[in-house]
Amino acid sequence: MKDGSMMTEKIRLSLPRCFVGKAVWGLVAGLLLVGCDVPDRHDIEMFRKPAVWEVAAPQERSDEVRIEKTSLLPPSAEPSPARENWQFWYLHHVEPDGVIGGGMMQSQRTTSDQIKLTLNERTLIKMRGGKDTSPDAPWRPNAHACLNANEQTFWHSSEGQLLRTECRVRRGPLQTTKFIELSGDTIRFDVDHLTSRAKKNVPHQGPLGGPLAVYQSLLGNPLRSRERREATVLLPIQETLAALLIRGRSDALAKRMTDQGLVLDSLHEAVAVVSIADGRQRERYYWYDDEGVVQATNITGESRFTYRCDEAQYAELGEAFLENVYPITIQLPGKPIPPGNVKQLAINVDLSPQPDDVGGNAEPASAPERLRLPVAPRQYVQSLDAGHQRVITAAQPVSAKKLAGRFEIFESPSRAADTAATPIVDYRSAGVRKMLAVATSMTGMSNQEKAIELNRTVHSLLSFEPLSVGIRPAGAVAEANIADSTEHAILLIAMLRARGVPARMALGMRHLSGQAASETDSAETDAEAEQPSSRFVYHAWVIAKTEDDWISLDPTTGSETSADCIALKIDDLSDLDAKTFVDQYLAILASLRMTVSAALVQ
């Protein structure tokens, strides 16, 4: 490249003041920065403007250089330390939100005949809430953000052949593990879906590349214009194979990251098309320097661009997603919740409109599929009409007389499912029996005394980590030292049921006292500005049936839940499915618009 090719215009890199502020919901399918491993959402045939190479006249492509399929490197390329040992950092950037995620990738030769590639990535997938609460405003749910992450390790032969892969993928509170091994002409998948395990063999012949194939191919070997390289690649996230076509294009002006921010520069350009057997395709552009180091990428049709940076920039600009330790965060506007112990909390809930609710004079439809906040122990619900609720949570039970029939009270009878053993609630397992042996003798105790004592036991034996695996059988949780709120709840439920106490899991959210809620934390002087928000995070706890009533227990604290816990769902865990667990939780959030109307804090 020539020095004169760089333009002096500099574009400031906008950064979010809080990673759950503004949002881009369309990023859910675009988690990975890697060259191939992104869920496909774009069909080439539906692009408004086809790529240049798709419509170029035949004579313009007569000098095209073709590299045979499965060969990502030109035949003349020789192995070198620079191509085998490298480390790059990348940031995902979306206007106007700024940095929403990023990742580190590393390649190193570990033995004389093996190269190890590592990818660690985090991305905050956001949904933007609305400020306009006027009757004519379009309905929007609360702003919330879901943490997606993946850690992938790939082992290749010196010739570039993929040998095996280990992959840990996180979506919100759940982490899935995948082991993939290539042997002869067979690919063996072993996937731990938490509540189930899947194994399958996929036949394949010939060399196979991994998700970082484009980065490997370009590094030290820039493509000439119209040169093409082809390969078959493995996509671990999708658990499938895909055809990869990389085609060189003319140099182009593109943004790259520097110490001064984003600037326009003249870079080499390549386009890669990933095609899966079911007809899905995805086109991604790569801009890279003379050494073949990718400086920026973009999926056609996406608002997100990925820029290469240095380690210091990655640590500084990626602080919001790197230091985030909560799988899901939710912003509730309205009255601010002061620091302290929440004694009572009042929430106004607007429900997602049904078709009959919109634009006409018809009364709101009370369709059964409309998701609502449920009643729970010390969570009282008033149905104002088919589209609105008022919910009050309290630190102490409120008498039915005081509620005067205006609020629903949790009065569910215990069922057989509340004491049943399931694959998740495996209370006969050795791990659970070991935990029960540690607990105080239950002889002569009431159900309430058993529940309180077992809650303390789980709290004392497990350390709380918001980003643990998420769902494991109670026996496996008992053998671990670290667990998240869901796993704490699963173990406590198993121990309660083993002692004859009916128990269920409450799935919801908990207020973070003293945490910065959003960029609107400070008082606003503009009357049109949004009210301050309170920050809530994903949380799970346990409700247990005692002799007199149901009580609400939080094993992450060892005590009863405070009034700052809001239940979104009550589950007996009879058919818990890890594949839909997060989807169901996010669907509830997407169906509600909650506002804090009052908070009593001690």
The predicted-structure confidence for 65-86, as pLDDT tens digits, reads as follows 555 454 555 554 556 777 889 9
d(CA 392, CA 232): 56
In 431-549, DSSP assigns E strands to 463-464, 482-483, 503-511, 533-545
> How far is it, in rounded angstroms, from Cα 460 to Cα 261?
48
- For 441-455, b/e burial (b = at least 16 CB within 10 A) is ebeebebbebbbbbb
Q: Which token pair is 292? A: 């073949």
| pLDDT given at position 206 | 83
Mean predicted lDDT score pLDDT of the chain: 83
Predicted confidence band at 405 (pLDDT cuts at 50, 70, 90)? Answer: confident
pLDDT score at 579: 87
Distance CA 91, CA 515 (A): 25
Mean pLDDT of 265-272: 96
Please give the Cα distance from 273 to 245 (Å, whole number): 5
Q: How far apart are CA 441 and CA 450, in angstroms?
A: 9
Q: Could you read off the pLDDT of 556-578 as tens digits, one per residue?
A: 999 999 999 999 999 999 988 89
98-129 pLDDT, tens digit per residue, is 899 999 999 999 988 899 999 999 999 988 77
Say if residue 232's pLDDT is above 70: yes
| Cα–Cα dist 476/481, whole Å | 10
Does residue 592 register a pLDDT over 80? yes
Domain boundaries defined on the chain: 3-322, 331-601
Residues near 440 by beta carbon (within 8 Å), at least 6 away in sequence: 453, 457
Residue that wins the pLDDT comparison between 162 and 505: 505
pTM for the predicted model, two decimal places: 0.84
CATH number attached to the domain at 331-601: 3.10.620.30
- Which is nearest to 327 in space by CA: 101, 170, 222? 170
Concatenated DSSP letters of 408-428: B---PPP-GGGG---SSS-TT
Q: Residue 137: its pLDDT value, please?
A: 64
pLDDT at 369: 56
| Higher per-residue confidence, 403 vs 189 | 189
- Rounded distance between C-alpha atoms, residue 204 and residue 185, angstroms: 5
- Alpha-helical (H) ranges within 332-429 are 400-403
> Would you state the structure tokens that stand for residue 300, as one six-digit string?
């056609």
pLDDT of residue 441: 86
Q: What was the pLDDT predicted at 358?
A: 46
Question: Which tens digits make up the pLDDT trace of 443-501?
Answer: 899 999 999 999 999 999 999 999 999 999 999 999 999 999 999 999 999 999 999 99
